[in-house]
Amino acid sequence: MAEDKQADPEAAEGAPAPKKNKRKLMIIAGAAAVTVLGGGGTAYALMGGKADAEAADSHAEASKDEGESGGHDEGAADKFVDVPAMVVNLRSADGGSHFIKLHFMLVPGAHATPDGIKDKLPLLLDAYQPFLRELRPEDLAGSAAVFRIKEEMLVRATATLGAGQVKDVLIQDLIQQ
């Protein structure tokens, strides 16, 4: 027995060593698998994003071709009513001069045409003037200010022109000085 231990010293001492080696190998294999899967997932996401972009480009080209052949309404820009920029002085508590420059577009509703709205534009601008003049510089602070102004302009357009005439107000420029 002593001879067996001396003849094969690695076998007697090697029994615990393979367990450590297996554990290390499993950890290394797990890390390699995570790396490979992570790299594969990243490559798939990058290639998938590229494929999605190519699909979107081909879809845009197909839409463009349909638009040229009459598949879509021509003159989409004619569907909006571009209102000239308005410059209005604001009410201020300090007595200083404060102005607002507002450029917006109107989207005709289901019961209106752009020409019909253009004909009634002076009435609409007259309805907007008192509202805009009553604004204070504090009313224009924050991101919600633009939303409130759009909603009030839509309410006044509906009251002036009638229900279903103006679907939306698109603010192009809103400059406070």
- Residue 66 pLDDT > 80: no
In a domain, 25, yes or no: yes
* Residue 16 CA: distances (Å) to CA of 4, 7, 12, 80, 107: 18, 18, 9, 81, 80
Q: Are residues 26 and 61 in the same domain?
A: yes
Read off the pLDDT of each residue in 140-158 and give the average, rounded to a whole number.
Answer: 90
- Residue 36 pLDDT > 90: no
Q: Are residues 145 and 80 in the same domain?
A: yes
- Residue 72 pLDDT > 50: no
**Distance of alpha carbon 6 from alpha carbon 64, whole angstroms:** 85
Greater model confidence, 79 or 14: 79
Residue 173, helix vs strand vs coil: strand
Least confident of 34-43, 62-71, 116-125, 137-146: 62-71
What phi and psi values does residue 175 have, to the nearest 5 degrees?
-120, 125
Task: List the beta bridge partners of residue 103.
Answer: 173
The model's confidence at residue 103, banded by pLDDT at 50, 70 and 90, is very high
In total, how many domains does the chain have? 2
Q: Are residues 53 and 87 in the same domain?
A: no
In a domain, 5, yes or no: no
Q: CB under 8 Å to 153, separation ≥6 — which residues?
A: 104, 128, 131, 169
Domain final residue pick, 68, 87, 110: 68
Q: Are residues 123 and 161 in the same domain?
A: yes
In a domain, 57, yes or no: yes
Give the structural domain span for 17.
Answer: 10-68
pTM of this structure: 0.54
Read off the pLDDT of each residue in 24-40 and give the average, rounded to a whole number.
Answer: 75
In a domain, 3, yes or no: no
Q: Angle, nearest 10°, between helix axes 144-161 and 121-133?
A: 140
Neighbours of 167 (CB within 10 A): 15
The model's confidence at residue 33, banded by pLDDT at 50, 70 and 90, is confident
Q: Are residues 42 and 84 in the same domain?
A: no
Residue 146 host element (H or E): helix 144-161
Residue 55 host element (H or E): helix 16-68
**Distance of alpha carbon 167 from alpha carbon 157, whole angstroms:** 9
CA 141 from chain center: how many Å? 21
Least confident of 16-25, 29-38, 65-74: 65-74
The model's confidence at residue 143, banded by pLDDT at 50, 70 and 90, is confident
Domain final residue pick, 41, 68, 95: 68
Q: Are residues 111 and 164 in the same domain?
A: yes
CATH number reported for the structural domain that contains residue 163 in this entry: 3.30.479.30
